[in-house]
Structure formats: C-alpha cells, structure tokens
Chains A and B, each alone.
Chain A
Amino acid sequence: DTEVTQTPKHLVMGMTNKKSLKCEQHMGHRAMYWYKQKAKKPPELMFVYSYEKLSINESVPSRFSPECPNSSLLNLHLHALQPEDSALYLCASSHSTMRQVGDIQYFGAGTRLSVL
C-alpha cells in the first residue's frame, strides 16, 4: 500500500476563516511534507517533518501552521489566508529524510483550495 490520503479534496474559504487540511499515511514513513502547487507550475516545498519534528520551513508565512500529531498524521492549519494562496496543496511522505537508496516521495491526491 503506497497510499497517502488527503482530506478534504476541495475547500473554499473566506479570508477570515480558519480551516485545516489533513494528511494520513500508513506506510510507516517517518518523513512527511507539505507542498503548494499553482496551476501549470511544479510543486513548491513548504514544510518537512522528520520523526514528527519540523525540520524544514521554506519561509512560509505564519498564516500556514503545520502540525504532526503522530507519525501517520500531518495537518496544515490555515488562518487569514489571501486569495493568492489558492492552489493545490499536496502532502507527501517518504521512508525518512536521511539519504537512503530509492527514497521516493509518495504524494497524496491533494486538496484544491480556493480563498475568496
């Protein structure tokens, strides 16, 4: 099973709302990632969690707040977003963040977010 599950699939929110994106994997992976992807662009890394600890924050605005409650779950809390934050948000996981042979990142289907 190489499945990464993201919910919800679609989300529409106003600029004053608070919402959360959820990501789950049961592959025993210890590294999890959040990416943002705008239309016709490659994914842009936002955050990396390694063994439930935040290891990389790519200078993401504080209106995005990641959380890793356990090794299987990754959340992205959203607050006071801007219309330009509308995008496809992808979660991924991999065996670890240490350099290992064939350390593929497996991606979820994404949450398509629209900020009005």
Chain B
Amino acid sequence: ELKVEQNPLFLSMQEGKNYTIYCNYSTTSDRLYWYRQDPGKSLESLFVLLSNGAVKQEGRLMASLDTKARLSTLHITAAVHDLSATYFCAVDRVPFNKFYFGSGTKLNVKP
C-alpha cells in the first residue's frame, strides 16, 4: 500500500515569513499533485509535478519533486494571510488514476 506523509500537519506563521511543507511517499511514483482546500470548500489544483527535478511556481508558492528521494516540497515565500488553507499532496498509481493523499498541512498565516 502506498503511503504518503506530510509534515508538518499544522503550521502557524507570520506574514512575510518563508516556510516549507514536505511530502514523502513510500513507493515509486513520478507524478505528484498539490491541492489547496479552504474550510468547507472543495480541493483546488495547484501543481502537477511530472518528473524528477520538476519545479513549478505560482505566485508565492513553489513546488518541487525529487523522485529518487520520494520527496516533494511546497515552499511558501513571504506568506500572506490569503494563503491560509489546508494543503494536500497526492501521488497516483498506475494503471488507474487513483490518488493517495497525504494527511494535509493546515496553514495559518497570521496578519
């Protein structure tokens, strides 16, 4: 069974600070997704990382993938309050597009 671990589970940070969320997975997979979920809302796709060394950036968020280490990171630069949400990473498994989600990281950015 593929396991996906995220840390930290909770992250409280001040506006303007930088931080990184980590996502480790247990078996080989070269496709990783990051989603954002606001309270009571659906999941919004942020990034798809398709290969080793992939790096994607959108605004203050940057995601990277190291398939050899089975590790993805989501780096937050100069956090703002609007980034407060829960962030999930997910890894899929052949042959079906079956997602294995991490536990989620609840981010609270304090003004």
A: residues with CB less than 8 A from B are: 31, 40-43, 45, 48, 50, 55-56, 88, 90, 92, 94, 96-99, 101-110, 112
User: Given A102-B48, A108-B42, A109-B42, are A42 and B101 also a contact pair (CB < 8 Å)?
Assistant: yes
Report whether B94 and A99 are in contact in the complex, using a CB–CB cutoff of 8 Å: yes
Interface flags for B36-66 (1: CB within 8 Å of A; 0: not) read 0000111111001010000000000000000
Identify which of B45, B98, B104, B106 contacts A104 (C-beta below 8 A): B45
Distance in angstroms from B31 CB to nearest chain A CB is 8
Distance in angstroms from A46 CB to nearest chain B CB is 11
B: residues with CB less than 8 A from A are: 31, 33, 35, 40-45, 48, 50, 88, 92, 94-99, 101-104, 106
Q: In whole angstroms, what is the CA distance A21 to B45 when docked?
A: 23
Report whether B50 and A105 are in contact in the complex, using a CB–CB cutoff of 8 Å: no
Report whether B97 and A112 are in contact in the complex, using a CB–CB cutoff of 8 Å: no
Q: In whole angstroms, what is the CA distance A40 to B43 when docked?
A: 13
Report whether A96 and B101 are in contact in the complex, using a CB–CB cutoff of 8 Å: no
User: Given A42-B103, A45-B99, are A107 and B94 also a contact pair (CB < 8 Å)?
Assistant: no
Report whether A94 and B42 are in contact in the complex, using a CB–CB cutoff of 8 Å: no
Report whether B48 and A104 are in contact in the complex, using a CB–CB cutoff of 8 Å: yes
Q: In whole angstroms, what is the CA distance A48 to B92 when docked?
A: 13
A residues less than 8 Å from B40 (CB atoms): 88, 112
Report whether B97 and A105 are in contact in the complex, using a CB–CB cutoff of 8 Å: yes
User: Given A42-B104, A101-B50, A112-B40, are A31 and B88 also a contact pair (CB < 8 Å)?
Assistant: no
